[in-house]
Amino acid sequence: MKNIIIFTLILVSIRCGNDLLNVKAVTVPELYNNIKENNVSSLVLLNIWSTSCIPCIEEFPYIVKLKKRYDINKLDVVFLSTDWEENEADVETFLLSQKVRGQHYRKLEGNTQEFIDDICPSWSGALPFTGIFNKELNLLSFWQGKKDEKYFISKIDSILKIKGEIL
Amino acid sequence: MIRILTLCIIAFTLLMSEEISIGSKMPGSDYILKNINGNESELSTFKKENGLLVVFSCNTCPWVIRWQGRYNPISELCSKNDIGFVAVNSNAKQHDGVDSFGSMKEHAKKYEYMFPYVLDSGSRLAKAFGAMVTPHVYLFDKNGDLRYRGAIDDGPKRVKREYLVDAINSVSKGKSVKIQTTKTLGCSIKY
């Protein structure tokens, strides 16, 4: 009986944890370690955004929808905000307004050059940035600037096709 | 499989407009740009004896706004060192809106610009430079060769490295620039 109660409590706490919004300030290595620890997907889509970047805000809702479109075994979507520490509350407010929960990330303030090169040396630094990684977090495809929903879906589908995960 | 994907990434990277490299001659020097004072002139006319600083900028980007306070002191430093300074608005997609010529005038007035602020119609200059982000700077020497490109400094707060100021001081004295390229986050130029 005691074991059943403990097990139920663990399940409830895991469920509640997923329903909570958590924004963690990270470096790129910390971000990658966090993703690797929890990842079960073949592909990881990383979207780098900011509350003060209008194109980022415009494309955000349909990136959220990708989570529902693809099975978690195929694609996970991770958001990383580049907002400054002083705008931490704005990040949470925006994410809540988009009805997203769970683990989110914010760039730890510091060396921006290193941050950009660690993500992708060919990235100019322009926002938004989206990268598609494999399970080992090798970058397979990336683009900078706002794109429409169709572009996202065609990119993801083409990589899944190459990997033989969709016909 | 990975090879195919890697080739796709390489192909994509090559398709992106390439940014001019250190040592390159100033591209688009004969492009006509419309200054907020009403004059239309070639890019080369903004060059002074010791060179030219080209700053890709705009009216609304939060990163531009953050670094806005550096523009006037840097233009003064350029002036003192006989280097020209021009800010360029290449957001062609927004030239009918927030980055219109009228809005550029208002913006320059609000921030008391002490330097020319020009409209790059059709983003021609940005494309010639391979510029993709604002704010982003390109410093050319007296021969019109690129000596520094990238961020103004490593701010916005707690600035440890003033990349551009160091580059201006070196170029004006004919010395080599220690840090020649840097990157920073910013807004994408709207071609």
Asked if A122 lies within 8 A of B5 by C-beta distance, the reply is no
> What are the residue ranges in chain B where pLDDT is below 70?
1-17
Backbone angles phi, psi at B154, to 5 degrees: -95, 25
Using alpha carbons, select from B148, B133, B159 the residue that is nearest to residue B181. Answer: B148
B101 min Cα distance to partner chain A (Å): 21
| Contact assessment for residue B118 and residue B86, using Cβ atoms and an 8 Å cutoff | yes
Asked if B184 lies within 8 A of A53 by C-beta distance, the reply is no
Whole-angstrom Cα distance, residue B185 to residue B182?
A: 11
Looking at residue A12, its pLDDT comes to 43
Looking at residue A111, its pLDDT comes to 85
Whole-angstrom Cα distance, residue A2 to residue A8?
A: 10
The DSSP symbol for A21 reads E
Tell me the residues of B at the A interface, defined by beta carbons under 8 Å apart.
1-2, 4-5, 8-9, 12-13, 16, 19, 62, 132-133, 151, 154, 156-157, 182-189
Tell me the residues of A at the B interface, defined by beta carbons under 8 Å apart.
50, 52-53, 55, 82, 84, 109, 111-113, 115-117, 122-128, 134, 138-146, 159, 162-163
- Out of A125, A139, A163, the one facing B183 most closely (by C-beta) is A125
Residue B156 preceded by cis peptide, ω within 30: yes
- Out of A52, A111, A126, the one facing B62 most closely (by C-beta) is A52
pTM of the model: 0.86
Give the type of residue at B92: A
Whole-angstrom Cα distance, residue B107 to residue A117?
A: 33
Place of tokens 């169709």: A150
Q: Which of A8-17, A70-79, B18-27, B89-98 has the lowest mean pLDDT?
A: A8-17
Whole-angstrom Cα distance, residue B126 to residue B123?
A: 5
Whole-angstrom Cα distance, residue B147 to residue A61?
A: 42
Listed in sequence order, the residues at least 6 apart from A53 whose beta carbon sits closer than 8 Å to its beta carbon are A127, A128, B62, B187
A67 min Cα distance to partner chain B (Å): 23
Interchain CB contacts (distance < 8 Å): A and B: 71
Whole-angstrom Cα distance, residue B166 to residue B161?
A: 9
**How far from chain centre, in Å, is Cα B82?**
18
Looking at residue B12, its pLDDT comes to 45
For residue range B121-140, list pLDDT tens digits in order: 999 999 999 999 999 999 99
Residue A6 has pLDDT above 90, yes or no: no
